[in-house]
Chain A
Amino acid sequence: MIALLIRDLRLAVRAGGGFGLALAFFLITCTLVPFGVGPEGGTLSRIAPGILWVGALLSCLLSLDRIFALDHEDGSLDLLATSPLPLEGVVAIKALAHWLVTGLPLALAAPIFGLLLHLPGPAYVTLVLSLLIGTPALSMLGAFGAAVTVGLRRGGLLLSLLVLPLYIPTLIFGAEAVRRSAAAAETTTPLVLLAAITLFTLALVPFAAAAALRVNLR
């Protein structure tokens, strides 16, 4: 399992692995918004929580199709399925690797992007916290979408259509937590619900994704 995690991380940072792409995409999205809605601080700081969360979500989406597609193309997925590793474990590890190269850097870099969007002062801690809690669910649900569409040519678009609706609960509670904290209100409820969604996906999705993979490997 550890070997698989190390291999995936190593592949991500080697040439063509796409490490940092999600981060760069997040940066571009956050710099485009002020150009679109105007540089007026009041408007920006009101929509900043939503923009930051939507941006993080779309950045996560970018690299999802790579979770299983590359392994399927070069035959590694067949070999992993016949290896001693349980396929559920393979799914969980690959989602973890995806989170480590996209979700975690996004959460840590988010305050800088918050600055670009005039995010009000007290919201920064909640922003990082909500992203840390919420993005594992994005990677895990994405792994499920990737497992369903593995083997399909041009499955990327279909993957987005499948996965984005599943991201809605995480988006609602994540953005709500940041918005409340920007308004100096209580943030426990949305954060707890966000954590509940993440734990729920972490518990169930590996089994669903492994079942989807088994069907697709036939």
Chain B
Amino acid sequence: MTALLSVRDLSVARGGLRVLEGVTFDLQPGRALILRGPNGLGKTTLLRCLAGLQPVVSGRIGMPAESHAYAGHADGLKPALTVAENLRFWAQVFGGGAVDAALDRMNLRALAARPAHMLSAGQKRRLGLARLLVTGRALWLLDEPTVSLDSASVALFADVLRSHLGQGGGAVIATHIDLGLPEAEELDLSPFRAIPGRPADKPAGFNEAFA
């Protein structure tokens, strides 16, 4: 079975300073990996590197091409568009997922015609997560997906996540709360914290090289 994601000896930097070094893990289809660690450790940076939004300092990320969907702190919603229009846009961008099914799964059916600026924070987040369903991507990279969700919505999301894993998908999730996914593996990133002052074989970036 080929891994959805294999990370080897990865170092990532934020603002020219290394935050994590030597991160190594594999993610098999059907599994979820929960990233743990205190604030500022580099969980978001790691996820942005995995999503390809940021270059890595060293190490290797292996994943099939075009297989991941990223969900960050912001939901990427347009306030002037309705819930269904927002979702339909992302479905078209990613090549046509089932919008209606996603609305039903995230319990947004009743809000479908509502402009996104009328939604509460938790409803916006549910819409942001529904976007993952319409991408049709196998690997979900989630940065604190449960922020501003109530406990019922967290359980709903855990269900959605479980069925995604059941279909052979995978997820890497940075979170501080208990998602109710006992089968997920946990990775504590604290041991990978970069040690300042240790000589590196390669500078972390422009800022560090010219400091």
> Hey, which bits of chain A sit against chain B, CB under 8 A?
2-4, 7, 10-11, 14-17, 73-76, 78-85, 217-218
In chain B, what residue has the closest Cβ to A79? B76
Contacts of A76 in B (CB 8 A): 76-78
B92 and A3: CB pair below 8 A?
Answer: yes
**Contact A3:B89 (CB < 8 A) given known A82-B68, A82-B70, A83-B94:** yes
**Contact A79:B90 (CB < 8 A) given known A217-B53, A218-B54:** yes
- Dominant SS at the A interface? helix
B93 and A11: CB pair below 8 A?
Answer: no
Interface CB pairs A-B, < 8 A, 26: A2-B92, A3-B92, A7-B78, A7-B89, A10-B80, A10-B85, A14-B80, A17-B80, A73-B74, A74-B74, A74-B75, A74-B77, A75-B75, A78-B51, A78-B74, A79-B72, A79-B131, A81-B52, A82-B51, A82-B52, A82-B70, A83-B90, A83-B93, A85-B93, A217-B53, A218-B55
- Dominant SS at the B interface? loop
> Hey, which bits of chain B sit against chain A, CB under 8 A?
51-55, 66, 68-81, 85, 89-90, 92-95, 131
Min distance, Cβ B48 to any Cβ of chain A, angstroms:
8
Please report the C-alpha to C-alpha distance between residue A12 and residue B53 in the assembled complex, in whole angstroms. 27
- Kindly list the 10 A-B residue pairs having the minimum CB-CB distance in the complex, ordered from nearest: A75-B74, A3-B92, A14-B80, A76-B76, A75-B76, A79-B76, A82-B70, A218-B54, A7-B89, A83-B93
Please report the C-alpha to C-alpha distance between residue A4 and residue B78 in the assembled complex, in whole angstroms. 12
Please report the C-alpha to C-alpha distance between residue A208 and residue B85 in the assembled complex, in whole angstroms. 31
